[in-house]
Amino acid sequence: MKFPKDFLWGGAIACSQADGGFDEGGKGLSTQDCRYFDSNWDFDTIYNVNAYASDITRERLNAAIADKGTEHYPLRRGIDFYHRFKEDIALFKELGIKVFRTSSCWARIFPYGDEEKPNEEGLAYYRAMFDELKKNDIKILLTICHYDMPVALVENYGGWKNRKTIDFYMNYVRAMVDNFKDVVDYWIPFNEINAARFGHWDGISIIGEEEENINQTIFECLHHQFIANAKAVEYIHETAGTYNVGSMIAAFTIYPGTCNPDDVMQEINDIRNSNWFYTDIMARGHYPNYAFRLFDKLNVKLEISEEDKEILKNNTVDFVSFSYYASMIASVSEDFEVTTGNMAGSVYVNPYLKKSDFGWTIDPQGLRICMNRFYDRYEKPIFIAENGLGAFDKLEDGTVHDYYRIEYLREHFKAIGQAMDDGVECFGYTMWGFIDIVSCGPLTMDKRYGVIYVDLDNDGNGTGERIRKDSFHWYKHFIETQGEEL
Ligand code: BGP
């Protein structure tokens, strides 16, 4: 199988999981800096996705704002990319990636969120990083908001619950676009915008237990984000004169558990509510009819003005992207074994498929199916913004023999090639956490995705040394040969 020469093979991280330097360069406190972790918690507490132990409560938030340290806040440390990005980018160059996905940190640019002018030190950090990437001939895919926002906006204005936050977000977008429109190749305004329903603090920075009608709050916040997304599309189109803005959701590829028609109808509803709803609005430009049925069911009253409808209709995205880790099952019957999945509390086990160390279903064909479904629905170019295998890697004889990750990648890359043979227009792929970073849900370094090992443990102890895993050499060769010897 030979991939097109210009196919963009790359790697992805998020600022809050990698940068560190949480209180440097004039940066304000981010919502992600407030997520608490205790390395004494047991496996189930840390990895049981039903109730991430690190989820935010009012008490946890107040304690985090008062705490100036990093001991219980792994996302304040990351892997110190903030100070080490030059050497890391040299490694990325050696790996041979064509595109690097990261996110900019809102609180680095507007520390309290409501300033008039951006923080020059924050802009300087991105200018230095982007220049380094360009020097190494690596394209940039920038996520403008990857789960983090200035805590001050949440505390002082109610965050995404307040429509005013759209204006604050657009100040941030204008600062990034005005300064970097000539170096950023692709933009994603929001990471996994469907996190609003599945990871409240990550997606819309609300404390779920404090909301009277959580569904009303979720869809109001989401509406503000959909408008913000459209305004970002409009600004980039008009200012940068480029058509390179993408939507992004966590793809929950779902299968009916049996050929029982009730299971098929369950799958149609589940995939609408977990996936299509979000990309429909950003890629088609309006709320789909089935959304209003869902709102009725959830007792949600959403005011969508004529002006809002115009903004959504006139500013749809240029490509669609998603993260893909696993597939799931929809069924009206309860007799399925249960496991965990990305942001999904509990999912049914697929008897035909294996699972990762963390219970996530491993399904390469599911990626091919996901790609076909997205392309059939939107007929817009597709970018795979996240995919990869989180595993407990072991350092031995100075490296990591991660044959299991090579196997995962080989099978998923085959599936991408098959989807492209099916007629799907896909222009790139960024492997999630291709350099080990702090995991998003559990907040551990132990859950590693990288082809580059980082010598840090869950408490941030270690040399921080970067070490090439077996998969580094495999991915490097794969990119060099465009997958010819897959
Ligand atoms: C997605 C996030 C990423 C990444 C990924 C893996 O939802 O966009 O930030 O972390 O999940 O999840 P985890 O790190 O919890 O294994």
Which atom of ligand 1 is nearest to 191's Cα?
8
What token pair was written down for 361?
């279903």
Q: Is the CB of 199 under 6 A from ligand 1?
A: no
Q: In this predicted structure, what is the pLDDT of residue 337? A: 76
Q: Is the pTM of this model over 0.85?
A: yes
Q: Where are the alpha helices (DSSP H) in 148-199?
A: 151-157, 164-180, 195-198
Q: In this predicted structure, what is the pLDDT of residue 335? A: 77
Which atom of ligand 1 is nearest to 437's Cα?
14
Q: Is the CB of 18 under 6 A from ligand 1?
A: no
- Give the residue whose CA is nearest to atom 6 of ligand 1: 440
In order along the chain (486 residues), what is the average pLDDT of each group of 10 residues? 92 98 98 95 81 80 97 97 98 98 98 98 98 98 98 98 98 98 98 93 94 96 98 97 96 93 95 96 98 95 97 98 95 79 71 89 97 98 98 97 98 98 97 98 96 98 98 98 87
150: which DSSP letter? B
Judge whether 320 and 237 are in contact, CB under 8 Å: no
Q: What is the DSSP string of 378-406?
A: H-S-EEEEE----EE---BTTB---HHHH
| Angle, CA 148 vertex, CA 38 and CA 307 arms, to 5° | 150
Judge whether 49 and 340 are in contact, CB under 8 Å: yes
Q: In this predicted structure, what is the pLDDT of residue 409? A: 98
- How many angstroms is it from 219 CA to the middle of ligand 1? 22
Integer CA distances (angstroms), 397 to 72, 135, 365, 391, 409, in order:
31, 34, 34, 18, 23
What token pair was written down for 419?
């989807």
User: What gap in Å lies between CA 263 and CA 271, rounded to an integer?
Assistant: 12
Q: Where are the alpha helices (DSSP H) in 199-350?
A: 200-204, 214-235, 261-271, 277-279, 289-298, 306-314
Judge whether 312 and 285 are in contact, CB under 8 Å: yes
Q: Is the CB of 192 under 6 A from ligand 1?
A: yes
Active-site annotation, residues: 192, 386
Would you list the domain boundaries of the chain?
8-481
- Give the residue whose CA is nearest to atom 2 of ligand 1: 440
Q: In this predicted structure, what is the pLDDT of residue 486? A: 77
| Angle, CA 143 vertex, CA 6 and CA 63 arms, to 5° | 150
Q: In this predicted structure, what is the pLDDT of residue 52? A: 65
What token pair was written down for 56?
């935010």
Q: How far is CA 282 from the centre of its chain?
A: 16
Q: Is the CB of 194 under 6 A from ligand 1?
A: no
Superfamily of domain 8-481: Glycosidases (3.20.20.80)
